[in-house]
Structure 1
Amino acid sequence: MGEHYDVIIIGAGPAGLAAAFELSSISNLSILVMDEGQSIDERKCASVENLCIDHRTCNITHGSGGAGLYSDGKLCLDPKIGGDISRFYDESETKEMMRRVTDMLSMDSEPIRPAEPDKKNISSCVNAFNDIGLGFKYYDVVRMGLQSRVKSVEAIERYLHQKGVRFLFDTKAMGISSNDRYAVSTGSDELSCDYLVVAPGKIGSNWFDMQCRKLGIPLENNPLLQGVRLEMPRDITLKLSEITDNPRISMEFENGDYIKTHCFSDKGRVTIADYGGMKLVEGNYLENAESGNSSVNVVMRLNLPPYITPFTFSSGFIQLVNSFGKGRPVVQTVGDLSDFSETNPSALEDIALKPTLNDCRCGDLSKLYSAWFADRFSKFIQRIDLVLPGFADRKNLVFAPFFEWWMRKADVDRHFETRRPGLYAVGDGAGLSQGIIAAGMQGIACARGISDKSSGQKRFF
């Protein structure tokens, strides 16, 4: 048996870092944070600006700062977006926890505050979409560029080191066992703790699922979102981006089918994220290398039967798309997708729109996605085109695959403790959040629960 800690945190993403940040601030417990990826100083990814070079451990999905580090960098300052922490806490409590997360993210920079909303233009925008049968959601968003996010995580790491928190990077948690305390196997060693926080991130969701089955922790399916990423000249969405950094446009069909936009990126780029060998597309924003394009995910809700896990379904589909792309994502023009024809690479070079992701293969997504999805996708973007002319242009580009919410959801209490006393589950990988702020708030709540439990206190707020 290796070293013993009061608390071990598996995962150094927003949820794990926030748990360590809060615990080290309010307690004297010994804390270890472990992650399969690298520290922020070592975490570099060529695919953000060039081509994916297939690192053994993907630096987009692993490492200090989590997958959110190389995302589009949006901080959604609405506690009801990206998680369900509001089912446990009232508005004043969630706002206070959100402030703790933003304080952590801005400890070496200016405070994180949203811009003053343009209520008149927001109202006009809502009406314009509502008038054509589309939903439009506005919420406060702050966008951090990659360099700002890197500096933020560097500051968090320094702070935690100063508080005595130990980091163990480039180390995979192989398994969890429980007797009178928790043990985490790393393959070459076994670490023990009294309290275990599992914040595995999306990349660790299937591993977490297997550990929960072994430990008897109940899980349930989240609604799975399947989709693509749509890229276009930013002029098409310019007026919308001046109103909000993350517009949420949605459409519900008569039979209950639901489709929406997700993770809008103005002046950003499409990148590859490697989830255990599965190549997905994502959006990213580099403040020192802005593009002339905008892009957004278009996703559709899939309600799977309980005997099919979201990961099983999505991983099979991702591998299928990747096989068509010869190990890479697939790209196609909107026009070719509508015509059920494969996009020709030479034709792609002739269009005015220059793709920000070149590390992909041309293909025909109509052979991969269902006719049902293609129909809903086409009707949705054509409806948006009525407000944003050019949104459904035939020369716009569709990248695939993309999935969201493939994780199963753990059953937890208000401190995110599972039915196994002393074992806590937080963040995206536990199926409980989507996004940096939501995951961080769960880390804060979890840390307070551990602190109170270890000291025998009871927290009412």
Structure 2
Amino acid sequence: MNTRYDVAIIGCGEAGIFAGYELMRLCPQLKVLILDQGADIYTRSCPIVAGKVKECIHCKVCDTMCGFGGAGAFSDGKYNFTTAFGGWLTDFMDGREVMDLIDYVDSINVRHGATTEVYSTATPEAKALEKKALEHDLHLLQARCKHLGTENNLKILQSIYETLKNYAEFRFHTTVDKIEAPGDGYRLVTGKGDTVECTWLIAGPGRSGAEWFSNQCKALGLELLNNQVDIGVRVELPAQVFEHITDVVYESKLVYRTKQYGDQVRTFCMNPYGHVVAENVEGINTVNGHSYSDPALRSENTNFALLVSNRFTEPFNEPYRYGKHIASLSNMLAGGVLVQRFGDLVKGIRTNPHRLAKSFTRPTLTAAVPGDLSLALPKRQLDDIIEMIYQLDKIAPGTANYDTLLYGAEVKFYSARLALSGELETALPGFFAIGDGAGVTRGLAQAGASGVKVARVIAARLEQ
């Protein structure tokens, strides 16, 4: 087995994949290794999705989160053409360059089977929605958007994998226990006891590897900057409630600043006619959502996240651990994901199986356990969420219905961001950090763009 490579990429998520893909195009002569603790795109299989179990059994490595495609592999594939959300790449480079990178990543996806249909923000209907939202102090962040679909997203990744595997060497089911910087490149110590040496190192650890990556950076003496902590719930309601919005813009990002605390709350990951699903992040069950493009696979509900963003000051420096702690409380109460009717939450009563059975909104995540979110989420965040639901009800009447379902906890795990150059390089020369787990992106488009950026930086230096 080879131990010396030109480039090693940690993580097979969107960022790592597109870093490898662009290196394949620009530097076909390089020896490239891509490592991931998960499986390849064909053998990733969640026992819940496969129908083998009804609830999370805490697999040692979660196939929903890890492996080729990362956490995005089983997402519904929303691809947003914007710098307004989805990451912070404009902190490192010009907005025009970021958009060019996003368009380029999309062109690769199209080459591998992605749709060319785009939801536009320039239509009269989209402008009318934006005005209606503003009348109620809700701010609609609009962007051109593609919906790849959960099933089509998987096929696109399979096609990319078939191309990329002929260029790069993949090592799946391989953890990296330690990153070392001996001075002449980098050395990776794997969980299998092997060592890998490389000249260039690209870290795209993804959400599931965010805490691990932060610890590695601390050990290497690299400066970490605090990122925000996003905590909330996933809302599920009849699709008709948001139909007049999702039929026009599909992915509606609505932002609101609460009157009680002045906190920012936003909708995130809108899934029309979708399904609520559970995720396992290092033994912690959280909740997410999917949406299929095939009408035969759709549900009668729409789901979306409501996330409260909080930024902390010193001495707080562990946003990842804070998010895990909040999520673990709902796990403690429910043994997994907890669900509660909105009306029960407002009245201060626990949703039990009998009350849930009376709900007109039928849960798509049947393994969720009825309970009381007020015992799991901090009061401030819960107050923010309740205020936001009443505000959304003004533009989408029915959002605040008694039977609207709230699943908890939804937590977005992002590591504290590294201090990086405009080329996404750390203070250690030749060591780059990309993607969601490095705290620089938050979604498919910018994650892929960050990978392409770093690959181009390496290619340009090789030409010097």
State the TM bucket, normalised to the shorter chain.
over 0.9
Amino acid aligned to 1:178: A
Tell me which amino acid in the other structure corresponds to 1:6: D
1:234 to 2:247 alignment: no
In structure 2, the residue matched to 1:55 is 59
Structure 1 segment 77-88 matched on structure 2, within 5 A: 77-88=81-92
- 1:370-399: CA deviation from partner (whole Å, max 9, x where unpaired): 332222222211121112111011111100
Q: Which residue of 2 aligns with 1:24?
A: 24
Distance 1:368 1:238 in 2: 31
Superposed CA deviations along residues 274-322 of structure 1, whole A, max 9, x for unmatched, are 0010000001123352110001111111122333210121111111110
- Please show how residues 150-299 of structure 1 align to structure 2 within 5 Å: 150-162=154-166, 164-179=167-182, 180-187=184-191, 188-254=193-259, 255-286=261-292, 287=294, 288-299=296-307
Cross-structure match for 2:15: 15
Give the secondary-structure state (helix, strand or coil) at the position aligned to 1:70: coil
Q: 2:444 is matched with which residue: 427, 431, 436?
A: 436
1:452 Cα offset (Å): 1.8
Q: Distance in 1 between the 2:117 and 2:314 partners?
A: 41
What is the deviation of 1:118? 5.4
Q: CA deviation at 1:405?
A: 4.9
* 2:125 counterpart of 1:121: yes
Alignment partner, residue 34 of structure 1: 35
Match for residue 100 of structure 1?
Answer: 104
Task: Give distance in 1, aligned partners of 2:271 and 2:377.
Answer: 24
Q: C-alpha distance in 1, partners of 2:393/2:84?
A: 28
CA distance in structure 1 between the aligned counterparts of 2:137 and 2:444, rounded to whole angstroms: 31
Q: How many corresponding residue pairs? A: 454
Tell me how far apart the structure 2 counterparts of residues 62 and 225 of structure 1 sit (CA, whole Å): 21
Cα separation, partners in 2 of 1:192 and 1:302, compared to 1, 3 Å: same
Structure 2 counterpart of 1:315, from 324, 332, 346: 324
- Map 1:128-143 onto structure 2 (within 5 A): 128-143=132-147
Conserved 8 A contact 2:214-2:416: yes
CA distance in 1, matches of 2:320, 2:114: 39
**Structure 2, unpaired ranges of 5+:** none
Secondary structure of 2:84 counterpart: coil
Across the aligned residues of Structure 1 and Structure 2, the Cα RMSD in angstroms comes to 1.7
Give the aligned partner of residue 45 of structure 1. Answer: 46
Picking from 135, 143, 149, the partner of 1:145 is 149
- Residue 362 of structure 1 and its aligned partner are, at CA, apart by 1.2
Match for residue 420 of structure 2 among 412, 417, 433:
412
Write the letter of the residue equivalent to 2:129.
C
How far off is 1:2 after superposition? 5.8
Query: Secondary structure of 1:57's match?
Result: coil
Deviations 1:160-198 (CA, angstroms, capped at 9, x unpaired) = 123x21111111111100112211111320111000100
- The 2-side partners of 1:303 and 1:115 are apart by 32
Contact 1:10 1:34 in 2 (8 A): yes
Alignment check: 8 A CA contact 2:114 2:148 kept:
no
What do the CA deviations read for 1:345-378 (whole angstroms, capped 9, x no partner)? Answer: 0221122211000112111111222332222222
Residue 325 of structure 2 aligns with an amino acid whose one-letter code is G
Alignment of 1:357-368 (within 5 A): 357-368=365-376
Distance (whole Å) between structure 2 residues aligned to residue 137 and residue 442 of structure 1:
22
Cα 1:190–1:278 change in 2 (3 A) is same
Task: Output the amino acid matched with 2:289.
Answer: G
Partner residue, 1:459: none
Which residue of structure 2 lines up, in the alignment, with residue 388 of structure 1?
396
CA–CA separation in structure 2 for the residues paired with 1:221 and 1:95: 26
Q: State the secondary structure of the residue aligned to 1:47.
A: coil
Q: Partner amino acid for 1:189?
A: D
Residue identity matched to 1:5: Y
Residues 1:67 and 2:50 are matched in the alignment: no
What is the TM-score of this pair, normalised by structure 2? 0.94
Note closer, same or farther for the CA distance 1:430–1:345 as it changes in structure 2 (3 Å cut).
same
- Are the aligned partners of 2:78 and 2:146 in contact in 1 as well (CA < 8 Å)? yes
SS in structure 2 opposite 1:174?
A: strand
Query: 2:448 corresponds to which letter in structure 1?
Result: G
Offset of 1:450 from its aligned partner?
1.3
User: 2:204–2:438: 8 Å Cα contact kept in structure 1?
Assistant: yes
- Superposed CA deviations along residues 50-108 of structure 1, whole A, max 9, x for unmatched, are 53343321111100011011123101111332122223433442232122211222223
SS at match of 1:75: strand
CA contact (8 A) 1:220 1:306 kept: no
Given residue 169 of structure 1, which amino acid in structure 2 is its aligned partner? F
The whole-number CA distance in structure 2 between the counterparts of 1:266 and 1:204 is 29
Q: Report the counterpart of residue 422 of structure 1 in structure 2.
A: 430
For 1:93, give the aligned amino acid.
E
Q: Deviations over 1:388-428 (max 9, x none)?
A: 11101111110001112532111111221100111110000
226-235 vs 446-455, which moves further:
446-455
**Larger displacement relative to structure 2 (304-313 or 170-179):** 304-313
- Cα gap change, 1:451/1:113 in structure 2, threshold over 3 Å: closer, same or farther? farther
Partners of 1:16 and 1:171 in 2: how far apart? 15
Gaps of 5+ in 1: 457-461
Contact (CA 8 Å) 1:48, 1:271: kept in 2 or not?
A: no
C-alpha contact (below 8 Å) 2:119/2:248 kept by paired residues: no
Match for residue 378 of structure 2 among 370, 379, 390: 370
User: 2:136–2:391: 8 Å Cα contact kept in structure 1?
Assistant: yes
What is the alpha-carbon distance in structure 1 between the residues aligned to residue 322 and residue 414 of structure 2?
Answer: 9
